[in-house]
Structure 1
Amino acid sequence: MPVITEVDEDVKLRVGPKGDGPDAAAEVVKDDVSEETSKGSRAMKIDGSGDDDDDDSDMPPLESFDAADDESSADKATKKKEKKIVIEDEEPQKEVDEDGWLDVLGSGELKKKVIKPGLGKDSRPQRCNWVVLNVKGTLEDGTVFEEHKDWRIILGDMETVCGLDITLALMEKGEIAEIVVPARLGYGDQGKEPDVLPKAKLHFYVELLDTYPAKDESDLPFQERLSIGDAKRERGNFWYSRGDYSNAAHCYRRALDFLDDMGLNLSESPADLQLLLDTRLKVYNNLTATQMKMKAYDAALKSVDFVLKVQPNNVKALYRKGKILADQGNYSEAVSVLKKALKLEPDTKIIQQELSRLMWHKEREDRVERAMYKRMFGGSNSSDAQESSKGSRFSKIRNWTLVVGSAVVAAAAVGVAAYRHLGAI
């Protein structure tokens, strides 16, 4: 971060190296300042160090030093308006030790040493650029575990270990460097069979042959898009198998960028187009599984629905959708989805087991719901209460009908008896 010094009137700040070190210091130049005006002047000065980040948020608060305590607020405001600040910045250099090692992250673990200089900073690759490399990876005892010639990868796409991916951005075109990668930024606690043991420190000898911006995926030839997309799918599978779900998800998303059918020439053969679609559906299925591992259920549901939109009878997708819905607490819909999957593959035990588990959860949920209705309606659930109410109304109507009918019959009997009696007279 450059150092900023603020003074009144005309001021020029030049930010440059301090001594032989990497820190930046501010030099303040002020012309024609007389002794008569020096008493009334006010300066504010901040000293800082030359960090890589030139964000002003890390600067300490400004400290003001007033020459006179009784100076009026109006005078201070007037002088503040007269201040002019000019900053000439230079990018600070990262510190290299006496043996030529650059501490990339500042922790002393990830290090880089230039063996042959490159063409300058302007030739460094940017994220998402293609880089062409010669790479040799060795263990501390010199065992070679990895070697590539004219290896073409996209920077930032996790096509190599994290430590190497980070450090490549600091290399220049034509540069040859040795890079030391700690285990946590390499193959970690698992290692990589057959040569890389768990927690192994790695050494890479890298030559950056070329770097250039990547074309838009839709501008690439069909076969190249298919090849790159499938390679990224396989790389995603590699990270998934290691339990690194974040990197796996990143690789799967990048694979989909290349396997998208936007911009495709429909004159491609139907077999090729079908191959592209099938590969894309594989990626979506794998992305769904990864998002489930990350408990990103909403995203996983969108991914699996894309598969089912194209292949509604894809059993693997139906099974995963059922699992997602269950994890979201939607047991009714989950049971319905798994029943469809089981109908398609009735002998698949994992679907049978999951369906049995969800049926038990659904029944328990239904019992809880019935008990809640029972408490709400005073000892009976809603349907029972409604039936009871209907029965009570019917019973009352029936009783009144019987009373009225009895009265009518009695009146008729009295009338008949009277008629007979009068006839006899």
Structure 2
Amino acid sequence: MHTGYDDLNELMKTSQDLAFTIELLQVESASEYEHESWQLTEAEKLDSIPTLKDEGNTLYRTGNIQGALEKYRTALGYLEQLMLKEKPNDEEWTRLNQMKLPILLNFSQCKLDEKDYYAVIEHTSSVLSYEPDNIKALFRRGKAHMNVWNIEEAKSDFDKVAALDSTLLASVNSLLKQLSERVKEKDEETKNRMKGKLF
């Protein structure tokens, strides 16, 4: 048999014992390293969710958006896995879903900071399907709609926020003013581009 490598060909002709040298760099106990998802029991996944959320919050506060997203994504993944084992709308499923919603809101805030507006709309809409009056979800979704030029949807979300929490009226009015100015600028820009053009 010819392998294309002389040293390997020689080794194949006359079998020889192989000797390996293994260097142990570090020994870690089970509690010292992060387990892969598939290694965790359902109870371990459930127990780790509040910790993952807290770690994500800490990372977010320090400006580490990517790190926070990763923690929230892991927590959401665990919750999804656990929810799949339950019958939708049963007591345990509902309890897990209640744990999921605040993490989904935090995840959405990170996505808003990253300017991933369509992801924000998707995730906040998911929260709003269970909690239609969730002010944070409405406010974040309104901002996302505003940035992707869904003008009517943005106005609708901001109007709901103002109706639900009058302390946010100044913020909502400021955003609505910005939205109105942006629409005006866009209309003016379109008007100038169309000037002198006949169809």
TM-score range, shorter chain: 0.7 to 0.9
Corresponding residue for residue 254 of structure 1: 74
2:35 to 123, 143, 154: 154
Corresponding residue for residue 317 of structure 1: 137
Corresponding residue for residue 15 of structure 2: none
Alignment of 1:303 with 2:123, yes or no, is yes
Alignment of 1:220 with 2:42, yes or no, is yes
1:361 to 172, 179, 195: 179
Amino acid at match of 2:77: D
Corresponding residue for residue 33 of structure 1: none
Secondary structure of 2:133's match? coil
- Residues of 1 paired with 2:118 and 2:88: CA distance? 33
Amino acid at match of 1:258: Y
Give the drift of 1:319: 0.4
RMSD between superposed Cα atoms in Å: 3.7
Amino acid at match of 2:53: R
For residues 8-407 of structure 1, the aligned pairs below 5 Å read 10=2, 13=5, 27=7, 114=25, 132-133=30-31, 153-154=34-35, 214-215=39-40, 220-221=42-43, 224-260=44-80, 261-264=83-86, 270=91, 273-349=93-169, 352-363=170-181, 365-366=183-184, 369=187
Give the drift of 1:345: 0.9
Give the drift of 1:304: 1.2
Query: CA 1:152 to 1:331, structure 2 compared with 1: closer, same or farther past 3 Å?
Result: same
Amino acid at match of 1:248: A
- Residues of 1 paired with 2:157 and 2:56: CA distance? 28
Corresponding residue for residue 138 of structure 1: none
Query: CA 1:342 to 1:13, structure 2 compared with 1: closer, same or farther past 3 Å?
Result: same
- Residues of 2 paired with 1:367 and 1:336: CA distance? 21
**Which is bigger in relative contact order (C-alpha 8 A, separation at least 6)?**
2
Conserved? CA contact 1:240–1:248, under 8 Å: yes
Give the drift of 1:371: 8.1
Corresponding residue for residue 136 of structure 1: none
Amino acid at match of 2:155: V
Amino acid at match of 1:355: N
Corresponding residue for residue 21 of structure 1: none
- Residues of 2 paired with 1:369 and 1:265: CA distance? 50
- Residues of 2 paired with 1:29 and 1:371: CA distance? 74
- Residues of 1 paired with 2:3 and 2:51: CA distance? 57
- Residues of 2 paired with 1:293 and 1:318: CA distance? 16
Which of the pair is proportionally richer in helix? Answer: 2
Q: TM-score, with normalisation over the residues of structure 1?
A: 0.37
- Residues of 1 paired with 2:2 and 2:97: CA distance? 66
Query: CA 1:220 to 1:363, structure 2 compared with 1: closer, same or farther past 3 Å?
Result: same
Give the drift of 1:249: 0.8
Give the drift of 1:225: 4.0
Structure 1: runs of 5+ lacking an equivalent: 1-8, 15-26, 31-89, 97-112, 119-123, 125-130, 134-150, 158-212, 379-425
Conserved? CA contact 2:87–2:93, under 8 Å: no
Query: CA 1:359 to 1:132, structure 2 compared with 1: closer, same or farther past 3 Å?
Result: same
- Residues of 2 paired with 1:12 and 1:290: CA distance? 53
Compare CA radii of gyration and give the structure with the larger one: 1
Corresponding residue for residue 186 of structure 1: none
Corresponding residue for residue 165 of structure 1: none
Give the drift of 1:278: 1.8
Secondary structure of 2:115's match? coil
Q: Percent identity?
A: 22
Conserved? CA contact 2:105–2:137, under 8 Å: yes
Query: CA 1:280 to 1:362, structure 2 compared with 1: closer, same or farther past 3 Å?
Result: same
Give the drift of 1:280: 0.3
Structure 2: runs of 5+ lacking an equivalent: 11-17
Which of the pair is proportionally richer in strand? Answer: 1
- Residues of 1 paired with 2:66 and 2:189: CA distance? 43
Query: CA 1:93 to 1:265, structure 2 compared with 1: closer, same or farther past 3 Å?
Result: farther
Query: CA 1:327 to 1:225, structure 2 compared with 1: closer, same or farther past 3 Å?
Result: same
Q: TM-score, with normalisation over the residues of structure 2?
A: 0.72
Query: CA 1:266 to 1:373, structure 2 compared with 1: closer, same or farther past 3 Å?
Result: closer
Amino acid at match of 1:234: D
